[in-house]
Amino acid sequence: MTHHILEVDNVHTYVSGYHILQGVSFKVEEGKITTILGRNGVGKSTLLKTIMGILKPVQGRIIFKNLDITPLPPHKIINMGIAFVAAERAIFGGLTVEENLSIAFNGNREEYEPRLEKIFEIFPDLRRLRKLKARNLSGGQQKMLAIACGVIKQPNLMMLDEPSEGLSPVFVRRVMETIEKLKEEGTTILLVEQNFNAVKKIAEFCYFMDKGQIVYQSEIEDINKHPEILTRYLGVSL
């Protein structure tokens, strides 16, 4: 039986007076990798910030694990089990890798060491770099650290905004392999991307956004049968 961990129902959000999200509805199946695809400026980042409570919708509901989280502030949404990795890699450059992870964990210290060891199993590069200041990491390593900071609290749902942005093809593959590993560990993933090639091997279901609305949805494998969708909404071809 399909169980949806997240449901967004007819959400409208304004930013600086502009109607950015115009009735967005979609669902995320528990235990799967779902992706939302679209060009820059169609409202993808606004959507994630609305789910996280950073922005408040004027209409619609956001349901997480059968609870309405629409009115909740971000810190309560985080505590309910949602992690958000923003495109801008929100890490502390002047702190070491391990210090960033410790701050992100912010919990019972008896649980910290086992969680840290688990992080290093998933992100082996970070074990080697644990004493290095975050500002000295490469772009791909900083992205890994930002994801690890989200993972260390063991969220039920992890949302990532443009994880492939600004990375070399080699690091894009590594980041996507890591995301797939997180799914295998039991984390549900919601990816926002404009790079279809980055997600086509790991995502199972996709939604396309355009002008603040969900305009198309399908199993990821079915996109191969409808290449015109990529051309229409991403300006690319298979």
Amino acid 1: pLDDT: 60
By the 10 Å C-beta count (0-12 exposed, 13-18 middle, 19+ buried), 92 is classed as middle
Residue boundaries of the structural domains of the chain: 1-72+192-238
Amino acid 22: pLDDT: 97
Is domain 1-72+192-238 annotated with CATH 3.40.50.720?
Answer: no
3-class secondary-structure state, position 213: strand
Asked whether 52 and 84 are in contact (CB, 8 A), the reply is yes
Two tokens at 39?
Answer: 């060009």
**CA distances, 210 to each of 10, 52, 194, 222, 233 (Å):** 15, 21, 11, 19, 7
Among residues 68, 39, 8, 78, which one has the least CA distance to residue 193?
A: 39
In which region does residue 150 sit, left (phi positive, over 0), alpha (psi from -120 to 50) or beta (all else)?
alpha
Amino acid 238: pLDDT: 53
Going through 125-212 in order, the beta strands assigned E by DSSP cover 157-161, 188-193, 205-210
Amino acid 83: pLDDT: 94
By the 10 Å C-beta count (0-12 exposed, 13-18 middle, 19+ buried), 179 is classed as buried
Asked whether 208 and 222 are in contact (CB, 8 A), the reply is no
Question: Which sign does the torsion angle of CA 142, 145, 151, 153 carry?
Answer: negative
End-to-end CA distance of the chain, in Å? 32
In sequence order, the β-bridge partners of residue 15 are 18
Q: Tell me if the pTM is above 0.85.
A: yes
Among residues 72, 73, 38, 88, which one has the least CA distance to residue 192?
A: 38
pLDDT by residue for the chain (238 residues), tens only, comes to 679 999 999 999 999 999 999 999 999 999 999 999 999 999 999 999 999 999 999 999 999 999 999 999 999 999 999 999 987 767 999 999 999 999 999 778 788 999 999 999 988 999 999 999 999 998 889 988 999 999 998 899 999 999 888 888 888 888 898 899 899 989 999 999 999 999 999 999 999 999 999 999 999 989 878 888 999 998 866 5
